[in-house]
Amino acid sequence: MRRRTPPPPAPLPQRDGVDPVRVRLPVGGAWATVREHLVERLTGAGPGMVESMFAAGQVFGADGRPVPPNAPYQPGMYVWFHRELPAEVPVPFPVEVVYRDEHIVVADKPHFLATTPRGSHVAQTALARLRHELGLPTLTAAHRLDRLTAGLVLFTVRPGERGAYQTLFRDRRVHKEYEAVAPYDPSLALPRTVRSRILKERGVPAAREVPGEPNAETRVELAGHRDGLGRYRLVPATGQTHQLRVHLAALGVPILGDPLYPEVTAPVPAGDFRRPLQLLARRLEFTDPVTGAHHAFTSGRRLSAWTSYTDWSGESRPGG
């Protein structure tokens, strides 16, 4: 099997912990210049944006030199540039570092902060912040948490070791435990293991359960209840998108603060950090594939609806 040639190193440094965009020019096409291709490819960049980038010398080739506006199109050529970052409301909560060595960083991510740059969340992500704050430009995420979910995330320091840690998650050799706060239903028999087939379609906010062979499995336990609320311990055996949120909603106890399950609600205004989703990645346990050390980490965060429902919601408890 022919091994794929890795791309050349980026000629541009990171900006605020964010990598430059890398574009490889495809084989085929009728573009006469690199600029023509990028104008067509980056239609969402805004009118005149690509032309202004070339005029300012902000598009670079592998040799570290600006690409001229009239540079001829070369299939397979790489170019780099920094995109204009979207306006982002700062997430006013810190990313706590739970553990750090020369191979990994384990962080305790707050609610509302994305794990990695994606869509409209770029600089306001755990990865960008940690790269900047720790001075680790090569830091990468071994897995991800939803933006609305808080808790433990594993990052790798050395690019060449990232695959070994990602394989832990792929092969289900990481023990993960979550905690959630949701309504208490005395008729719901727990503990139980929930299995279903979950489908998440691109462009559709919410995932859904569909008929077919199960691809998602979650152990659900009741850790405690009071005043109409339940505190649930969730142990996923798989990692489908929104799996825990889908499974609790299907049991009739949707997680407090969930804007998608059981029904999609209107998005809250940017900067509204009230009523965070009451889901926390509480525990992460694994054997380090590089050092052989056994690691077990626990989040120091607490779910606010359980510690003070009134503070979380601004209302009295559902059973009070």
- Known catalytic residues are 146
Q: How many residues does the chain have?
A: 320
Q: Which two tokens stand for residue 33?
A: 């210049």
Spell out the residues 6+ positions from residue 288 whose beta carbon is closer than 8 angstroms to its own: 103, 104, 294, 295
Distance (Å, whole) CA 295 – CA 198: 30
The one-character DSSP state at 270 is: T
> HSE of 141 in the Cβ direction (CA atoms, 13 Å)?
20
Query: CB–CB of 134/97 below 8 Å?
Result: yes
DSSP string, 39-108: HHHTGGG-TTHHHHHHHTT--EETTSSBPPTTPBP-TT-EEEEPPPPPP-----S--EEEEE-SSEEEEE
Distance (Å, whole) CA 77 – CA 89: 36
Distance (Å, whole) CA 241 – CA 216: 9
My answer on whether omega of the bond before 159 falls inside 30° of 0, hence cis, is: no
